[in-house]
Amino acid sequence: MATMFVQHKVNDYAEWRKVYDSVGEMQKAGGVTEAAVYRSVEDPNSILVMHRFNSADQAQAFTQNPDLREAMGKGGVIESSLRIEVYEEA
């Protein structure tokens, strides 16, 4: 099992959330088995997303999906703030 953490800032959380909620099928098709979204207490436009996958290879492949990048752009993700890390269960 692998867990991907995606941390980034967005221009407007409410607008980002609409886009995020609209891509559930893309996530499922990409191997996401579980997901959670967190917002910073200090900055509500600072987001941490957790996605679980059956393997690290699936998680890495998901990050290369052009539809994911397009959705991030539509959601107002500030590209310079984007950080993606994949961890395997130890």
Q: Tell me the domains of the chain and their CATH numbers.
A: 2-88 (3.30.70.100)
> What is the full DSSP assignment across the chain?
-EEEEEEEEBS-HHHHHHHHHHTHHHHHHTT--EEEEEE-SS-TTEEEEEEEES-HHHHHHHHT-HHHHHHHHHTTB-GGG-EEEEEE--
Residues recorded for the chain: 90
pTM (predicted TM-score): 0.92
At 6-29, the pLDDT tens digits run 999 999 999 999 999 999 999 999
At 45-88, the pLDDT tens digits run 999 999 999 999 999 999 999 999 999 999 999 999 999 999 99
